[in-house]
Amino acid sequence: MSKMEDIQNFWKIIQENIKELTDEESEELEIYEKILEALDKIHPEIFYEFMLSDDDILTLVLSAGGNKELFPLIEEMVSKAPKL
């Protein structure tokens, strides 16, 4: 799979599981493993964190752990993000 296909797959997983990701009661830990596996295919040093605000707005943070060489890749990933 190409890097572009890996990025598209990452966003597809997010889209398909958005309800579980925004549900504070959800205990679907498998989805978090799928997301991590998809990110690992893009680059093993990219990590993520979700934050759910009090008004149920889900924020996804992608991190390169300070590795500036990965910033362009993360910027590319963000530019390919679908409207959720």
For the segment 26-57, what is each residue's pLDDT rounded down to a tens digit?
677 789 999 999 999 999 999 999 888 888 78
Radius of gyration of the chain (CA): 13
Number of domains in the chain: 1
In a domain, 11, yes or no: yes
Q: Does 24 score more than 80 pLDDT?
A: no
As beta bridge partners, residue 60 has 50
Pick left, alpha or beta for residue 56 (phi over 0 → left; psi -120 to 50 → alpha; otherwise beta). Answer: left
The pLDDT value recorded for residue 1 is 81
Distance between CA atoms of residues 20 and 7, nearest Å: 20
- pLDDT tens track for 65-82: 999 999 999 999 999 999
Q: How far is CA 2 from the centre of its chain?
A: 17
Domain membership of residue 59 as a residue range = 3-79
In a domain, 48, yes or no: yes
pTM of the model: 0.87
Alpha carbon distances (Å) from 73 to 10, 21, 62:
13, 24, 11
